[in-house]
Structure 1
Amino acid sequence: MNDTHEDAGVAAAAWVAAEAGGDAATIDALLTDDFAGVGPLGFVLSRAEWLDRHASGALRYSALRLEDPRVKEHGDHAVVLALQTGEGTYQGHPVPQALRATIVLRGETDGWRVAHVHTSFVAGTPGAPPIPGRPSRP
């Protein structure tokens, strides 16, 4: 494994591209066996549950990207902080258009793999709760 910042960032970008395309097979190859994902409402999904959202067609993106990714390596792990933006639906309902994402990757013999994802709303953006103390938009 070549453990450069660029490689961890490239792996994170490959994961987002697979998510955007609903490519369950590629996502499967990029996730660690013990992967866990935390959604913006605090729910936790196992690897199987994460993959099923794509395999079942329940989650569909028309666009998805990582903006301003910041990669920090910590030994055989890397953490990517980024703004995840896009458009899509889950079971026919719109997904948030902007999420702050923390992606933890683990270096394995075949390269970087995604071990954990944690997303949270960006207050005041479409699909997110309003900013506390401010009136809601119509």
Structure 2
Amino acid sequence: MDTNQEVRELGQRWAEAEQRGDNAALAELAADDFTLVGPLGFVLVRDQWVNRYGNGGLVTHELSWDDYTIREYGDVTVAVGVVTQKAEFQGRPADGRFRVTQISVRRDGRRLLAGLHYSPIATPPGR
């Protein structure tokens, strides 16, 4: 399987795990040193990210990962794309459309998420 296919499949499995609220599947997808930077600048380490669904505070109804480009650097890939989600956090809407940088690594023959960085999509200043 080529790298682009590996990254596409990783993205699909990630989106499906988010929609199911599947902590175990997220844990399988994340490298031990995984880090997420959220759309408001907060940081979650692997265990925090994996366990977001554990207490029922987060519910993801829909999540898609589209319009991405993939760059490969040996065993590391950087994919920049768009995540669109319909979700709730502690009963409040958490819907959004975000530009997301996904960093993945190949370890022990598997492609794993090493990092995600979410940014709100907005019009650049002066436009």
Q: TM-score w.r.t. structure 1 length?
A: 0.84
Task: Give yes or no for contact 1:9–1:71 (8 Å, CA) kept in 2.
Answer: no
Distance in 2, matches of 1:109 and 1:3, equals 16
Is 1:55 equivalent to 2:43 in the alignment?
no
Distance in 1, matches of 2:78 and 2:55, equals 29
Q: Let me know the Cα RMSD of the aligned residues.
A: 1.9
Q: Cα offset for 1:110?
A: 3.7
Q: One-letter code of the match for 1:56?
A: N
Q: Which residue of 1 aligns with 2:81?
A: 82
CA deviation digits over 1:71-104, x for unaligned, max 9? 1111101111111002011111111420111010
Task: Give yes or no for contact 1:9–1:69 (8 Å, CA) kept in 2.
Answer: no
Q: One-letter code of the match for 2:76?
A: H
CA deviation digits over 1:97-119, x for unaligned, max 9? 20111010010114100000000
Is 1:22 equivalent to 2:21 in the alignment?
yes
Q: Which runs of 4+ in 1 moved over 3 A?
A: 131-134
1:1-138 maps to which residues of 2 (within 5 A)? Answer: 2-123=1-122
Sequence identity percentage: 35
Task: Give yes or no for contact 1:72–1:78 (8 Å, CA) kept in 2.
Answer: yes
Structure 1 unaligned blocks of 5 or more: 125-130
Distance in 2, matches of 1:8 and 1:108, equals 13
Comparing 53-62 with 41-50, greater Cα deviation is found at 53-62
Distance in 2, matches of 1:37 and 1:108, equals 19
Aligned length: 127
Q: Cα offset for 1:49?
A: 0.9
CA deviation digits over 1:12-31, x for unaligned, max 9? 22112111211110000100
Q: Cα offset for 1:120?
A: 0.6
Q: TM-score w.r.t. structure 2 length?
A: 0.91
Structure number having the greater strand percentage: 2
